[in-house]
Amino acid sequence: MFVDLHMHSTYSDGTKNVIEILEIITKRNIRLFSITDHDNIKAQKETLKLAKERGLLYIPGVEISCKYSGGVLDILGYNVSHGNEALENFLSGLVEHRKKRNKIIIDKLNKLGIEISMEELSSESDSTVIGRPHISRAMLKKGYIQTLEDAFEKYIGEGKPAYVEKNKYEPEEVISRIRKAGGVAVLAHPLSLKLDTESLEKKVRELAHAGLQGIEVFYKAYSDEDKMNLLRIAKKFHLFITGGSDYHGENKPGIEPGVEIPEELLKDFLKEISLQKLLSQS
């Protein structure tokens, strides 16, 4: 089954808007997809409406970064309820912190002789959530760097002179928030935790005990060996199996939407999110 359950739009750090993503989904014959913007669900109402009009199968989503040392731990929330006040207040708090963080990053860059402003970022982006990818694009446009990667490697990546820590919650808290909002909590790109197989299995066990329901086994960048190992871990802890490309448009060049997942492996997840209910939403 050709699907993509991990995509980002201009509502966060993707470069394609909802309509453009829908056109890509149609062109590539992707049967099921989800927009999982960082820290917000602003795309959901629009996408549900347009997807239904076009006869596309869509699952509302969100991606939330968690506290974790040594790597990256993100939780995907699927089928989250648009209009859930508790979840939206939680996400709004994360967005507000991002705004404060951006201002500090800009101040640090200005002191390093890089003249960009928050006004520039806001005027050139229709994103709900502005972050480091937008800052790196502004730096590239003004000629301060040669590639988007240069911004992270030289200035705004962890340990670099303009880096500022992002406000994050423990994964247990994030999982709880997603589930209370009626969503399904899934571990995104698990190899980003940068753990060996034994340690990864131990961490997944901890998260499963905290309420984690699924794991992103079929991540675009993973080898067949990676997928087989993650599939084994998912089955061991009775977790749903998902997959996606982590598509960001030009902010992550070279990544094409869509991953192939055997439908048999997706069936428990699809049952949990009740696809028939999705088709009746607007």
Domain carrying residue 222: 2-89+169-279
Looking at residue 282, its pLDDT comes to: 38
- Examine residue 235 and state whether it is found in any structural domain, yes or no: yes
pLDDT exceeds 70 at position 91:
yes
Mean pLDDT of 153-168: 91
For residue 152, being part of any structural domain is answered with no
Q: What percent of the chain has pLDDT over 70?
A: 94
pLDDT in tens, 24-68: 999 999 999 999 999 999 899 999 999 999 999 999 999 999 999
pLDDT at residue 120 tops 90: no
Q: End-to-end alpha-carbon separation of the chain, Å? A: 24
Write down the pLDDT at residue 83: 73
pLDDT: which is higher, 149 or 74: 74
pLDDT-based confidence at residue 281 (cuts at 50, 70, 90): very low
- Averaged confidence pLDDT in the chain: 91
Helices (H), 125-262: 132-141, 148-151, 171-180, 197-209, 224-236
CATH number, domain of 85, equals: 3.20.20.140
Q: Is the pLDDT of residue 169 over 90?
A: yes
pTM of the model: 0.86
Q: How far apart are CA 270 and CA 262, in angstroms?
A: 12
Count of domains forming the chain: 1
Residue 140 in domain: no
Is the residue at 107 inside a domain? no
Write out the two tokens for 57. 């199968």
- What distance in Å separates the CA atoms of residue 82 and residue 84, rounded to the nearest whole number? 6
For the chain, percent of residues with pLDDT exceeding 90: 73
Q: Which two tokens stand for residue 98?
A: 């991002």
User: Is the separation of the CB atoms in 219 and 258 below 8 Å?
Assistant: no
DSSP-derived 3-state class of residue 278: helix
Angle 197-209/224-236 helices, nearest 10 degrees?
A: 40
Residue 98 phi/psi, 5° resolution? -60, -40
Across residues 83-94, what is the average pLDDT? 87
Q: Which residues contact 77 (CB under 8 A, 6 or more apart)?
A: 36, 61, 62, 63, 64, 177, 178, 181, 183, 184, 185, 186
Query: 98: Cβ–Cβ under 8 A, 6 or more apart, which residues?
Result: 39, 129, 130, 131, 166, 167
Is position 35 within any domain?
Answer: yes
Please give the order of strands across the beta sheet that includes 57-58.
Answer: 57-58, 32-35, 2-7, 259-260
Residue 78 lies inside a defined structural domain of this protein:
yes
Is position 36 within any domain?
A: yes
The burial of 197, by beta-carbon neighbours within 10 Å (0-12 exposed, 13-18 middle, 19 or more buried), is given as: exposed
- 248 within 8 A of 13, measured Cβ to Cβ: yes
Residue 279: the pLDDT is 41
Instruction: For the chain, give the longest Cα–Cα distance.
Output: 55
* Model confidence pLDDT, tens digit, residues 255-275: 999 999 999 999 999 999 876
Residue 97 lies in a domain: no
Q: Is the pLDDT of residue 276 over 50?
A: no
Q: What is the DSSP letter of 247?
A: B
